[in-house]
Structure 1
Amino acid sequence: MAALASSLIRQRRGGPRDAPAPRASGPARAPAAARPPSLCQRQLRRLVAKVRDCGRGRRPREKPPEPQLRGAVARLRGGHGHFLQMGPDGRLEGTREEPGPATLFNLIPVGLRVVAIQGTRAGRYVAMNGAGLVYTSVHFTPECRFKECVFQSSHVLYASALYRQRRSGRAWYLGLDRHGRPMAGPRVRKDKAAAHFLPQLLEVALYREPSLHEVEEPPGTPPPPGTPPPPPDDL
């Protein structure tokens, strides 16, 4: 009996082991039902759709209209009875004859009580350099700016907005002598007839703002300190 039991034990030990029974899988889970979007999600989707629609129908922005400056067309009559005129070549002088197209000027505002004086026919600007000499410029430069002020409620003075007397600070004015010739700014006194102008307005017009040409150094420079003033001219 003992031998039979030991042989049975050896057979069991050497024989193949039984594989574990597979586990029974449970029933397959059904896919979860889609949840309806929340109120916040719906509003966000609407906002995104509106932004896309605006992007598709966007029109190119139109350029804003250029600013228009309200100026005037006028004749400038000097205190000695001459009308300031500008020839086709840009020459400035006064005339007592019947005013013609050469005596028409555009008074264009370029600042607070600052104007540019442009010949309507020649298209040039009246300017004053650092030595006080009056000339005409094809382009609008800082030397073409004149301060406009009323003298004794009747006449108008045009002073250079860029230059003045260094020592005294006295302004340099645009002026015509008794012969109708332009005078240098340092020789013109505001209380003399040479500096007085009576604008005769003909019409009000709209102008574009003149483009300022940058100049590195003006063609003329003011006289150095200590230089005696030029002798007074006939006024």
Structure 2
Amino acid sequence: MCFTMNVSLLLLLPGFQLLLIFSVGAKKQEGMVSPEDHGARLRGLWKLHIRDTLLKGKGSTPHPMREGMKQLLYCRVGIGYHLQILPSGSVGGVHKPTEHCWLKVFAMKHGVVGIRGVKSGLYLCMSGEGLAYGAEKFSDDCLLKENLEENHYTTYSSLSHPGVYLALSHKGVLRKGNSVGRHQSCTHFLPRRTP
């Protein structure tokens, strides 16, 4: 009875979740899993999943829970700007949204996300010098801590480089993330589903 119920439950789960369940189960059988090992394993699995999804081509329909929801990220600084990732890899803001402003924010683990430009196909990354840039390949620099602030805006900071925040200036230009803090309006973003 228990085996039948487990098999039917497994048939309902998408492939990535199955892979994650089996990998975690195998680790538990070997012994205790440290949080660092589990986090590293999760990042590795997610990277493989993203690579495989991208290799399938743009003709395939992504699963919304796996790929994130298509949205705009609005920064309330100045007159208000929407974050964009251009095909050249530059990151900045524009007041009126363009096709490069549509982003997919996807969860890596609790409180950690990745962001990818829908049009450019580039991942948002943060360097140790505090600059955001678009990259073709997902790396540790692309892991962002997502934090909901008291004012209901969201801040994004680098997981690899603590204290480095995604930020825009009053003119919509990218600011160095190591010169700003989470309580400044230049680091506050609000997800929007429609322009």
TM-score (norm: length of structure 1): 0.53
Contact 2:85 / 2:124 at 8 angstroms: preserved in 1? no
Gaps spanning 5+ residues in structure 2: where? 1-13, 18-64
1:91 aligns with 2:90: yes
Instruction: Encode CA deviations 1:51-81: one digit per residue, 9 max, x unaligned.
Output: xxxxxxxxxxxxx823362621110011220
Structure 1 residues 197-208: aligned runs within 5 Å: 197-201=189-193
One-letter amino acid matched to 2:85: M
Whichever of the two has the greater Rg, that structure is 1
Counterpart of 1:161 (choices 159, 162, 170) is 159
1:175 aligns with 2:162: no
Structure 1 residues 111-126: aligned runs within 5 Å: 111-126=109-124
Q: Write the distance in 1 (CA, Å) between the matches of 2:186 and 2:167.
A: 5
Residue equivalent to 1:82: 81
Q: Offset at 1:153? A: 4.0
> Kindly, what percent of the aligned residue pairs are identical?
28
1:189 aligns with 2:188: no
Q: Write the distance in 1 (CA, Å) between the matches of 2:71 and 2:127.
A: 24
Residue equivalent to 2:16: 66
Q: How many residues get paired?
A: 133
Query: 1 or 2, which has the higher strand percentage?
Result: 1
TM-score (norm: length of structure 2): 0.63
Instruction: Encode CA deviations 1:6-43: one digit per residue, 9 max, x unaligned.
Output: xxxxxxxxxxxxxxxxxxxxxxxxxxxxxxxxxxxxxx
Residue equivalent to 1:134: 132
RMSD: 1.8
Q: Write the distance in 1 (CA, Å) between the matches of 2:86 and 2:66.
A: 26
Q: Write the distance in 1 (CA, Å) between the matches of 2:87 and 2:126.
A: 19
Residue equivalent to 1:145: 143
Query: 1 or 2, which has the higher helix percentage?
Result: 2
